[in-house]
Structures are given as structure tokens and as C-alpha cells.
Amino acid sequence: MHELFLTSHIANDDLSRTVRILQGYCGMKPVSLIERRLMWEGPRARTNLKGIDPGFLMRQPPQLAPVWRGLHEQLVRQSYILTLIYDVTRDFGQAEANGNEEKPVLDCDQLPGTLRWSDLPDPGVNRPVNTRPIISIEEQRGLCTIMQSMGHRFIKEIIQECYRFINNNVVFELSRYLQLPDHAGNKQQRKISTHLPPFQSLVAFDLENKWILTASVRVANGNDPDQMQQGIGELTTVKTEFEGCFDLHMVDRHTVDTRVKI
Amino acid sequence: MASIPNEFPISLKSWPSSNSNDSTSLPNLIQRINFERGGFRDISEESLHQEIAEAEAESSNGEEDRSSEEEEVDEEPDRMKELMTARDEMLVQLEAAHHGAAFALDFVSLLLSKDTPVQAGLSMTPQLREMVGTGTLGADKIQASRITDTQKENNRHVAKGWKIQNLNKTVDTILESATRLEKEMETETKYWEQVLAVSENGWAVCRLPNEKQTLGVRFGFLEAAPAFRNQSLAALRRNADGSISLDQGVTSTEPQCVRVRVQVNGINTGSSTIPRPVPEDGPIESLILQARNTIFSTELWQELSRESRTLGAFNVRYKGDPLTFPLDSERTILLDPVILGDSAPSPPGPDDSTAEGIAIALNLLLAYSHRQNHRRRTQIPAPISAAKRPNPPYNLLRSLITRHRHQQTITSLHNLLAPLCAMLKSASLTPTPSYTIIHSPSQPPPFANFSLAERTISSLTERLESIATLKLTPDTTLTITSRTSQFPVAGTSFGLSLNQESELNATCVAPPAIADVKGVEDYVFFATSCALASLFISPDVDDSSWIRTAQPNVLRKLFQGGRAKQLVFNVSRMKTGTKGVKGNCSLSVAWEWMRHDSWSVGSENTMKYREANEFGEKRGEQGIYEWKHVAGWDDGEGQVMKGLEGVVTDAGREEADGARLRQKSGRVQAFKGN
């Protein structure tokens, strides 16, 4: 699967205006999401990457098997940083804020989550949008165990606050990243915490507290020029329609590099 | 200064830019004449005069005609175009004046530069200075002015007159435009007040995409099919008097709605109400509402006809208007689109409420489909692929038909169980058998933000399941689960089950699934007779008690001397002469003497049942007692003479009663009314 996207930055002051504009454009109320994103780093090696355990691949149900196999092929070729995404609610840390003794335990391994792999965007000089291959495996349990078995190392977690809008095939995500207060200073964190601090105590990752607006389209087969052209067409239409309002532009592909540096 | 004419003042004009363009110059004229007339030979002054006169006469006639035509065709001239032309003209003249003034200034400055070079140099353009230099033009008075003081005075008066005249004209114009503006303001205020009222009443007001200066109102539905969604914008135009009018453009259609009629044997027995059309000068709100209803009805009609193609199996027929489908064995539903105010309102009929209900249900189902569209639209879409995204028709009629079938099923279950319980009650059974039918609770909504309205529609259409519980005896409870599904084939299936403790689990196993009500009825009747029989079985085998046989509804009692008595319980549907009366059933208990042997070995319940039935008829019963329930009997019609227990006790006696009953040699009947 390929993802085509354009991004823009929105100042925090313009947030409500942006939400209103997108609400009108898409004809829907924003879907407000808070996602916990766990980053896992692959082994620091160039060769002899083992990828995913073959036994695990064999056990997968037929509809998921090709997706896992696709991921395996990528991970054998190159070591990547993978992301696990878990939906959380805004009041995840309320218990702690209220001084409640019993904190809700968030054991990510027991919760259904999404495994997300995305490649370095294609160089594609002729394309007006960023494109990159992605693999997204949704609603899976026990992902942390799988990651460990794949020799991946947990490095960091981050919270994404997001408003999602959809217009035809284009998905607009207006999001910002927040850090846990304990880890704001540290570069790396070694353990997945089972409790989250109250939402209000999270620290914005970006010092200017800007929001990122991403307009993206997913294409099933990136090698099919017709499908790609349709996706590009929809995104450029959006870009033209928002001209003068949001500056949707391509990003330098190396800013979203997910490969492990060795 | 003799050359200066008296008609002073002379207007200062810019120099013609080039002579070559002058159309009145002699070479040009000669060329034109040669070209148009082929030389000067046939041209004389008179002929030209005549020609001009003719042309004028013609054009004046033509103009009159044309102007009258124009007035008819277009009474309101294009105001915008007129304004633009006037503006252009004004700009041209202003530019010419500016040029003229600049040249005059240059000229005067050059003239003065000889005497006062510093002062004149300030107002002179650098180009002129470079080209001719300062002080190169001189002027001198060569003749005394002929203008006398009187003439000067006159000229001053004329100038003053002109000024006053023009000032008056200006004042008039300004006053006129002020009045016009005031009027415009009034009409504009009136218009905006109405637009605001429309907006405040919840209608979405926006600019028209192709006419940015015009306001429009969105009256249609965002979730409708694209064809209808694109038609759902109408312009709010301002009339000359400031009132507002709705302009639906080329898509404007007559107001219409979908009419539902009920027919019995081709005669109308009911019709849904058709609203009155709003007059064209009616309030804007009503017009918008009517436009909304119309577009909704149009879409409903299109979806109904689209769906009807997939519902041939339900006898839904659509070959041109109207669309028909049978509601039950007698009534047919007819659907067709009608234009409001075109047809006279139909006289009230007995099925008006049914027709109205169906019309409302169809509208609600379409609105529900819109909600589902919205839900689908706001989910993350599947990636773009070569596969086409299907656009299946909405389930409007299908939901209606399955719901109706389900209700019919429930009714037939009531028709089965109510008389059964009434009849058993008349047989003085304790505790009295009873039944309940409950609708299974709706499933938790598939989505988190499922609104109450959606939940209601979903519970009425999506999962149609009812559970009937029939408590026959203290030990035996029969549960009938009827489930009606929409897909893949609309139909009802029944699941039957007995409670775990029941003895019937061993003798009369419930079939797991039955497809029709008749099968259910057969089983329920057989199970009832078995359950009744099981009431009289005693665990110990001795002379004084009934024992079970291979057939669960037949009991046997052994007497001394190898003789035995057999007792058959049978519950069945009773045929009556009255047509259309449903819900009659009867219980018969028959007994007779027999040889004590195993006379019947059957494996199937139905076979046992049939044989047990035949048993009573073939062997010449020695006694039979029946309880009947007939729907429609009045109170007091039919009276219960004996209870079941009494009858069974009597039947179990060895000699005396048997003899007595034999002597009676007939059927003893007990009747029970409603």
C-alpha cells in the first residue's frame, strides 16, 4: 500500500479556525483522537536481519498473512523504526489527577493496537506530492511481544492528539505531538510505562506548539499508474482549493526517514 | 484676433495622435468611395441626398420595431452592463481631459518661460524642456483686442449661467441618487432581514459556487446520491420590491411526493395524505421546505424503483407507474409519485392509516439510509484500488417487507398459542398453561455514537427476533425462537427448544430448526399431548396407575387377566365451517380396551402421532372426551362439563365406568366459549 501526503503547519491560535474550515469542507464533525505511539527500533545491523519469525508468519490467518509477509520482506532488507499505535481516551490520567489510588493499568500488550511501518518517501522528482510505501496492521493484540521477538527495542513513546476529517478519499489529520513530562528531558526511555500522566501535564513536542495538518490518500497498489494518478489528482485538487488558506506542501523526504541509522 | 469666432469658449483638445487614422482625410475618402461605389461616375449630390433620406426612413421604421420588440423581450435592461459602459466612457473622457490639461500647462509654461524662466520651469515637463528648451517660444500682442467690455460682461454672465445650470443639474442628480440609494437601502434591508430569518431557522445559507455575488440556500441532503446533492442549492434572489424569491434554476421541478395507496381487488381502500402545494408567492420558508420535501421524494422514488428490481421474489412489480407489492393475501400496496395539487384528494378509506404508516416508514428508512451513508463517508476510506466500489440500493421495501412478515409470524404464533392455552384452561389443568412472546433485546449498537433515532430504526429492521415461551406443565416449558432475516433471503426460521428438566427431552425431541409455521404447529400440538400424557404417569408400575408406552402421547393401564386399557391424548387444529376464523383447536382424550402386547413400534414422532390418531378411530373407541376452543363463540356458548383429571380418572376405572361410558357410546363434548 502507498500513502500520498502533503503537509502544512498551523499555529495553535489558528486551531479552532482550521477545525471550522475543515468541518465545513468535509461536511462532518471532527473525529477527536488521542493515540499513544510507541517507537521500536530494529536491530542495528546492515546484514543478517532475520525479520519476523517464520513460525509466527505461518500461524497468521489467511487475510493477514500477505501483509505480515510483506512486512517481513521489508525488515529483512533494512532495519526500520516501527510504531505501535494505541487509542487512548482524554481522561486516561484522570485517576492520578484526582488523587485516586487505583490507577488504571494500561498494559499495551493486552490491548488491541496498530502496527505501522512506513518507508522513506520516494525520491519522485516529478510528483507534486510525497509518496511512500506503508504497511498498517490493525486491531492486533500482543504486538509488544511480537516486537521483542523480532529483536526490536523500545526507545520512546509519544502521545498524538489528532482531529481527523475525511473528504472522499482524502484524510485530513490535524495533529500535534505531546511528550510525557518525565521524559521531556531524557532522550531515551527504556520501559513502557503502564500508567499515563494526566493529559494536562503533557508537554508539547514542538516548542512553538504548532499543529501539523496532513492531507493523505492511500493507494492499494503503488505500481499502478492509474491508481497513483487518481490519488495525486485528489490531493492536488485539495491543495489548489486551499491555496491561500493552508500552505499544503511536500516535505523533504529525509525529515520522515524511518530507517535505523547505523 | 479676427480669426477667433464669436462662439467662445474654444475647447482645448489633444492633438490627434496621427493623421493617417483620420477617416475624413481626402485620400481616405477617395479610397473609400472607390471601394464602396466603384468611382465617382454615377454619384451626384442629389442621388446621395435621396439615398440618405431613404436609409433614414428605413432605419427609423426598423428602430421602432426593434425597440418595441426589445421592450417586450427584455423589460429590464442589463443594469450591470450599462454601468460598466458608462464607467468606461467616463474614464476615456477623464483621460482626454487630463491629457488636454497637461498639454495646455506645458504650452503656457513654455510661453511664460521666456519671461519668468524659474517659475515656468517648475510646471514644465522635462521632456518638453529637453526637446525645445526654455524660452524658445515668444508671444506678442499684435492687435488690440476686439472684445469690448460689454462682450466681456456678457461672456461672464454666460459662464455664470452655465455654472449655475450645471450646479443645479449636479444637485438634482445627487438628490436623485440619494433617493435611489435610500430606496435601495430599504429593499436591501428587507432582503437581508429575510435571508437572516432563513438562516436563523437553521437553513444553511452560502454563496453560490458559480455566481459568487448571489446567496443561496442549501435545502437538500448532504448524504443523498450525488445527483440529488448537486441539485440541492437554490439561489435567494431579491425581487425589485426587496422581497425574496427562491430560484432553483434549471433543476426546478414541480413539487411532488410519493403517494401510497392500498387496494383490495382493484378498489382503493386507503391512501396516504398528499400535502397542498405552497403558492408561488408564499412565504420563503414554506417554499424552501417544499423544495426539500420534493427533492427527498424524488430521491425516495428513484431508490424505490432501483430497489424494486432486486425484489421480484417478493412480488414487487414495477413496470411503469405505479410500483406494486402485495401486503397480504388481499391487500396490495401501490406506490407512485404525484405532483402536489394535481389530483383531487381521495375519499377517506379504512386503510388510510396503513397507507400513511407505510409512507412515513419509507421516509424514515430513507433518512436512516442517509445516516448510514454519513457513517460510511466519515470512516477512513479503503485505499484507492482498481476494484469498483459497489453502490447497492438502499433497503427500503426490503426492510418493510421483512418487518411485515415478522409481524405476521408473531400473529400466527399468537393464533396458535392463545387458543391452545384457552383450551387447556377449559380442561381445568393446574397450573393453567400460559405463554408469553417477547422481542429479544436489541444488540448493542455496532458503533459507539449510534443515536437514539438510528437505534430505534435498527431495532425495528435489523434484528427481528421474538421468543415465545409456552409453559405447558410445571416441568415442561417450550421455547420458540422466531428469527426473520433480510439477507440473503428474507424469511422466518424457527428454533424450538425444551427446558433441560423436561421429560419430553427423552420422548419428543424438538427439531432444531423449522422453516414454516405449519411445522411449528404440528410440533407444538404433539408436544402438548405428550406433556399432558406425562402428567398422569406414575413412577411405580402397579395396577392402579397409567404407565408410559413407546408413544409418548399414549398411556396404558394393566388390569388382571392380561387385559389393558389404553389412553390417547391428541391435540389438533379443528376445522370449522366459518371461513376466515382462525385459532380453533381441540383436545381429545380417547380410551379403549386392548390386548396387552406391544402393538406399535415406531421410531419417528410423527409416525407415532399418526398411529396414535388412527388407533382411536380404527379400534372403535370406548370413550372419548373433547375440549374445544372456538374463536368467536359468545359467552355461555359451550360449557365445560369436566376437567381433564376427572376424565382420566374415570377412564382408568376397570368396570363400572367403562361400562357406563360404553353404554353412552358417543362423544361427550365440552364447549368453552371465548
Number of domains, chain A? 1
Please indicate, yes or no, if residue A108 is contained in any of the structural domains: yes
Q: Would you state the pLDDT for residue A161?
A: 92
Contact between A219 and B379 using a beta-carbon 8 Å cutoff: no
pLDDT above 80: residue A96: no
Q: Would you state the pLDDT for residue B668?
A: 41
Nearest-Å Rg of the Cα atoms of chain B is 51
Angle at the Cα of B310 (from B307 to B315), degrees rounded to 5? 100
Please indicate, yes or no, if residue A112 is contained in any of the structural domains: yes
Q: Would you state the pLDDT for residue A19?
A: 95
Of B255, B401, B411, nearest to B333 (Cα)? B401
Q: Tally A–B CB contacts below 8 A.
A: 38
Which of B36-45, B49-58, B247-256, B631-640 is least confident?
B631-640
Cα of A145 to nearest chain B Cα, Å: 28
Name the residue ranges covered by the structural domains of chain B. 44-75, 76-140, 255-376, 397-527, 533-672
What's the average model confidence in pLDDT over A233-243? 93
pLDDT above 60: residue B612: no
Give dist(CA B524, CA B480) in Å, integer.
Answer: 9
Residue located via cell numbers 493499568: A105
Confidence at B670, pLDDT banded by 50, 70, 90: very low
Contact B402, B311 (CB under 8 A): no
Confidence at A213, pLDDT banded by 50, 70, 90: very high
Partners of B383 on chain A (C-beta within 8 Å) are 1, 218-220
Partners of A230 on chain B (C-beta within 8 Å) are 384
Residue B130's alpha-carbon distances to B104, B119, B126, B133, B134, in angstroms, are: 18, 17, 6, 6, 8
Which domain range does residue A124 map to? 2-256
Chain B CA closest to residue A29: B378
Confidence at B304, pLDDT banded by 50, 70, 90: very high
Confidence at B77, pLDDT banded by 50, 70, 90: low
Residue located via cell numbers 524659474: B118
Q: Would you state the pLDDT for residue B636?
A: 55
pLDDT above 60: residue B655: no
Confidence at B638, pLDDT banded by 50, 70, 90: low
Give B564's strand partners.
B558, B594
Cα of A153 to nearest chain B Cα, Å: 30
Q: Would you state the pLDDT for residue B244?
A: 86
Residue of A1, A169, A221 lying closest to B381 (CB–CB): A169
Chain A CA closest to residue B378: A166
Q: Would you state the pLDDT for residue B536?
A: 81
Give dist(CA B209, CA A134) in Å, integer.
Answer: 37
Cα of A125 to nearest chain B Cα, Å: 22
Give dist(CA B561, CA B631) in Å, integer.
Answer: 46
Partners of B378 on chain A (C-beta within 8 Å) are 28, 31, 166
What's the average model confidence in pLDDT over B115-135? 86
What's the average model confidence in pLDDT over B530-557? 77
Partners of A219 on chain B (C-beta within 8 Å) are 383-385
What type of residue sits at position A62?
P
Residue of B377, B378, B383 lying closest to A218 (CB–CB): B383
Of B582, B530, B553, B412, nearest to B480 (Cα)? B412
Question: Which segments of A187-238 are extended strands (E)?
Answer: 203-204, 211-219
Question: Which segments of B486-637 are extended strands (E)?
Answer: 491-498, 513-514, 547-548, 554-559, 563-573, 585-595, 623-629
Q: Which residues contact A218 (CB under 8 A, 6 or more apart)?
A: A1, A2, A3, A4, A134, A169, A171, A231, B381, B383, B384
Cα of A107 to nearest chain B Cα, Å: 23
Contact between B381 and A168 using a beta-carbon 8 Å cutoff: yes
β-pairing, B211-218 vs B204-208, is antiparallel
Residue of A28, A221, A226 lying closest to B378 (CB–CB): A28
Our CA dihedral for B648, B652, B657, B662, rounded to 10 degrees, sits at 80
Q: Is B381 on the interface with A (CB under 8 A)?
A: yes
Residue of A166, A220, A230 lying closest to B380 (CB–CB): A166
Q: Using an 8 Å CB-CB cutoff, list residues of chain A that contact chain B.
A: 1, 27-28, 31, 164, 166, 168-169, 171, 217-221, 224, 226-227, 230-231
Please indicate, yes or no, if residue A206 is contained in any of the structural domains: yes
Cα of A51 to nearest chain B Cα, Å: 26
Q: Would you state the pLDDT for residue B561?
A: 67
Residue located via cell numbers 366459549: B673
Chain A CA closest to residue B384: A219
Contact between B386 and A226 using a beta-carbon 8 Å cutoff: yes
Q: Is B380 on the interface with A (CB under 8 A)?
A: yes
Cell of B79: 443594469
Q: Which residues contact B451 (CB under 8 A, 6 or more apart)?
A: B371
Contact between A219 and B385 using a beta-carbon 8 Å cutoff: yes
CATH topology classification for B397-527: Aspartate Aminotransferase, domain 1 (3.90.1150)
Cell of B606: 410423527
Give A114's strand partners.
A85
Q: Which residues contact B274 (CB under 8 A, 6 or more apart)?
A: B257, B259, B338, B340, B343, B345
Partners of B381 on chain A (C-beta within 8 Å) are 166, 168-169, 171, 218
pLDDT above 80: residue A87: yes
Residue of B374, B380, B383 lying closest to A220 (CB–CB): B383
B666 secondary structure, DSSP code: S
Chain B CA closest to residue A231: B384
Chain A CA closest to residue B371: A28
Residue of A1, A171, A224 lying closest to B380 (CB–CB): A171
Span B550-576, pLDDT tens digits: 888 888 877 776 677 888 888 888 765
What's the average model confidence in pLDDT over B527-550? 77
Contact B358, B333 (CB under 8 A): yes
Cα of B375 to nearest chain A Cα, Å: 10
Contact between B384 and A171 using a beta-carbon 8 Å cutoff: no
Q: Would you state the pLDDT for residue B597?
A: 47
Give dist(CA B575, CA B520) in Å, integer.
Answer: 18
Confidence at B581, pLDDT banded by 50, 70, 90: very low
Chain B CA closest to residue A1: B383
Question: Of residues B316 and B146, which shows the higher confidence score?
Answer: B316
Tell me whether residue B68 is exposed, middle or buried, using C-beta atoms within 10 angstroms of its C-beta: 0 to 12, 13 to 18, 19 or more.
exposed
Cell of B618: 380404527
ipTM score for this prediction: 0.85
Partners of B222 on chain A (C-beta within 8 Å) are 27
pLDDT above 70: residue B617: no
Of B345, B245, B248, nearest to B292 (Cα)? B248
A184 secondary structure, DSSP code: S
Q: Is B444 on the interface with A (CB under 8 A)?
A: no
β-pairing, B204-208 vs B317-318, is unpaired
Chain A CA closest to residue B374: A28
Q: Mutate which of A221, A232, A235 to test chain B, going by most B C-beta atoms within 10 A?
A: A221
Q: Counting every residue, how long is chain A? A: 262
Q: Would you state the pLDDT for residue A105?
A: 65
Which of A94-98, A109-113, A228-232, B489-493 is least confident?
A94-98
Q: Mutate which of B374, B380, B384, B385 to test chain A, going by most A C-beta atoms within 10 A?
A: B384
Q: Would you state the pLDDT for residue B343?
A: 77
Q: Is B379 on the interface with A (CB under 8 A)?
A: yes
Pure H helices in B379-396: none
B204 secondary structure, DSSP code: E
Give dist(CA B405, CA B403) in Å, integer.
Answer: 5
Q: Report the greatest alpha carbon distance in chain B.
A: 176
Cα of A241 to nearest chain B Cα, Å: 13
Give dist(CA A101, CA A23) in Å, integer.
Answer: 40
The DSSP result for A12-52, as a single string, is: GGGHHHHHHHHHHHHTS--EEEEEEEEEEEPPS-SS----S
Of B406, B258, B369, nearest to B323 (Cα)? B258
Interface of B with A in 188-227 (CB under 8 A): 222
Of B132, B343, B153, nearest to B254 (Cα)? B343
Q: What are phi and psi of B432, to 5 degrees?
A: -60, 130
Which contiguous run of DSSP H or E holds residue B198? helix B149-200
Give dist(CA B324, CA B335) in Å, integer.
Answer: 6
Cα of A228 to nearest chain B Cα, Å: 8
The CATH number linked to A113 is 2.40.320.10
| Long-range own/partner contacts, residues B413-417 (CB < 8 A, 24 or more apart) | B413/B437, B413/B466, B413/B468, B413/B480, B413/B482, B413/B517, B413/B520, B415/B582, B415/B583, B416/B517, B416/B520, B416/B521, B416/B524, B416/B583, B417/B468, B417/B470, B417/B524
Confidence at B666, pLDDT banded by 50, 70, 90: very low
What's the average model confidence in pLDDT over A95-118? 71
3-state secondary structure of A144: helix
Give dist(CA A38, CA A83) in Å, integer.
Answer: 6
Question: Of residues B574 and A21, which shows the higher confidence score?
Answer: A21
Please indicate, yes or no, if residue A213 is contained in any of the structural domains: yes
Residue of A27, A166, A221 lying closest to B385 (CB–CB): A221
Work out the mean pLDDT of chain B and round it to a whole number. Answer: 80
Greatest mean pLDDT range, B46-50, B64-68, B139-143: B46-50
Q: Would you state the pLDDT for residue B489?
A: 66
- CA B305 from centroid of its chain's CA atoms: 13
Please indicate, yes or no, if residue A262 is contained in any of the structural domains: no
Give dist(CA A107, CA A38) in Å, integer.
Answer: 12
Residue of B379, B384, B386 lying closest to A218 (CB–CB): B384
Q: Counting every residue, how long is chain B? A: 674
Confidence at B63, pLDDT banded by 50, 70, 90: low
β-pairing, B623-629 vs B667-672, is parallel
Q: Is B448 on the interface with A (CB under 8 A)?
A: no
